[in-house]
Amino acid sequence: MKRQLTFAIGVALIGVSATAFAITDTETNASIPFNLANPGARSMGMGGAFLGLADDATAAYTNPAGLTQLVTPEISAEARHTDYSLPYVNGGSASVNPFNGSGLNVSDANSSIDNLSFLSIVYPHDRWSFAFYRDELVNFHNDFATALGGEGINGFTGTSNCAPPLTSPCGYTAFPIAARANLKIVDYGVSAAWKASDSVSLGIGLSYYDFKIDTLITRSNSPTTFSGVPAGFPLNQQAQFGSDNDVGVNLGARFALSEHWSAGVTYRRGPKFSYEATSAKLSSITQNSDGTYTGAVTSPNVIVDLKNVRFKVPDEFGAGVSWHPTDALVINFDADYIQYSQLTDGIQSLFGLDAATVSMLSLPNGTELHLGGEYTFTQMAHPFSLRAGVWHDPRHSIEFKGDPGNNTAAATTATLFHGGQGAQTHYALGLGWAFSKFEIDGAADFADVTDTYSISAIYRF
């Protein structure tokens, strides 16, 4: 016996990434592609390790204390091309008691974007430096549709009755979906740095964030669900939409430990935004005497209307060291602790699930580890640099934690959020060419779910 899965198996288009602090349980919130890495092609080429060095205009965001190293005004701009390949569940089989999703199929939703990711200008003056910048924390767009035939889940093993609680084997059909996701967060910031002594610099930044979200999943009939109703006939949809603004703070310190060593520490408080989310019926389905069904499109009937959904950009703590064994070689190491769990504290349900069920959707805090280096051919009239790096990106997609037991809603939720983005290892390469007043850098960063290409330029005047 087949039963419609009211939470369609859908694409994890965006996510990461609250009652007062949480996003919703729609599957478009599974794996948000935050750009929390340090800006600039130079930093990217070194695996994002830059907190202890922070010696160019990108320090305005990375570690504002590093701005005191600049002696002339600088303008910095960076353009990026990013290819996304984000995972989603598209059928397969699962079992309960205990839950096992190893038989579920996971596919990728592919998209790409080109953007001006960072822009800054720095004015140094005596022991002070000031900077203004624009940084795109998130800029993501994706459209995705599953086949009109729907995707089947072959059953919850060991449990032919699909009525809750699950007590016997049953099959589910996921409604076909058409999904759209647009999310953009832009940070406009001002930073100031003060050289307290020859070995200690302090920095502070204030940011104004602009937030826009627009996601929509439309679920439609599959040929095996309501016979007589055309495949692709709209049934319901879940939407998230809105725009908001907030402020954040960025603190930094840099220490010149010796001729060959320097270190940096930072804290960045992420903003909170508010938006609206709805779940609505798009049609009515009636059963005929012969067992077939008839569908009629109706005006959208909002079943769930959440007026104050919160999206929290996670707070971040960072520390890094930079080693200069020679004038030509620099080696950097950074560790960044990111409070991803802030995104799911008090998560809200668009499907009317109880608090105990949605509380099983969580996102653990994580630590990014960055290691990279730069070798500069200093003997050249216009020094040329080669860079390489590697870094660990912790899981930042929502997952279902715990065992759903024989609870149907919990089991289907566990299925939907099974295919999230796990921890990734990134490998980076870069190069740079410096002139008297101008520097150009290029870099590429490769991982399983994202490939990023960057070109940036710095002009000194």
Tell me the whole-structure pTM to 2 decimals.
0.86
So what's the pLDDT on residue 81? 95
Contacts of 381 by beta carbon, 8 Å cutoff, 6+ apart: none
Place of tokens 């910095």: 76
Residue 271 to residues 277, 319, 446, Cα–Cα distance (Å): 19, 21, 28
- Per the listing, tokens 């940084």 go with 135
The pairing of beta strand 261-269 with beta strand 450-460: unpaired
pLDDT score recorded for residue 357: 83
Say how far residue 266 (Cα) sits from the centre of its chain: 21
Of 454, 435, 455, 438, nearest in space to 446 by CA: 454
Contact by Cβ (8 Å): 63, 201? no
Q: Which of 1, 360, 411 is nearest to 166 (CA)?
A: 411
Which domain CATH number covers 426?
Answer: 2.40.160.60
Tell me if 106 sits within 8 A of 12, measured CB to CB: no
One-letter identity of residue 99: F
- Taking phi over 0 as left and psi of -120 to 50 as alpha, with beta for the rest, 6 belongs to alpha
Residue 324 Cα distances to 200, 333, 384, angstroms: 18, 12, 17
From residue 184, alpha-carbon distances to 51, 129, 132, 337 in Å are 25, 29, 20, 23
Note down pLDDT in tens along the chain; length 461 residues.
333 333 333 333 333 332 233 578 777 776 666 667 789 999 999 999 999 999 999 999 999 999 999 999 999 999 999 998 877 777 667 777 777 777 777 777 788 899 999 999 999 998 999 999 999 988 888 777 766 555 555 454 444 445 555 454 455 556 777 888 889 999 999 999 999 999 999 999 999 999 999 999 888 887 777 888 888 888 889 999 999 999 999 999 999 999 999 999 999 999 999 999 999 999 998 988 888 889 899 888 999 899 989 999 999 999 999 999 999 999 999 999 999 888 888 888 888 888 888 888 888 899 999 999 999 999 999 999 999 999 999 887 788 888 887 777 777 788 778 766 778 899 999 999 999 899 999 999 999 888 999 999 999 98
- Structural domain range at position 327: 2-460
d(CA 150, CA 224): 8
On the question of a cis peptide bond just before residue 165, with omega within 30 degrees of 0, the verdict is yes
The DSSP call for residue 70 is -
Bridge-based pairing of strands 366-377 and 234-256 is unpaired
Residues facing 324 on adjacent strands: none
Distance CA 453, CA 84 (A): 12
Bridge-based pairing of strands 2-5 and 171-174 is parallel
* DSSP3 helix / strand / coil % (the chain, rounded to 5): 5, 60, 35
Which backbone phi and psi does 201 adopt, to 5 degrees?
-125, 145
- Residue 252 near residue 266 (C-beta atoms within 8 A): yes
pLDDT at 320: 97
> How many structural domains are present in the chain?
1
Of 23, 22, 55, nearest to 40 by C-alpha is: 55
- CB distance 168 to 159 below 8 Å: yes
Number of neighbours of residue 230 by Cβ within 10 angstroms: 11
Which is nearest to 397 in space by CA: 412, 417, 377? 417
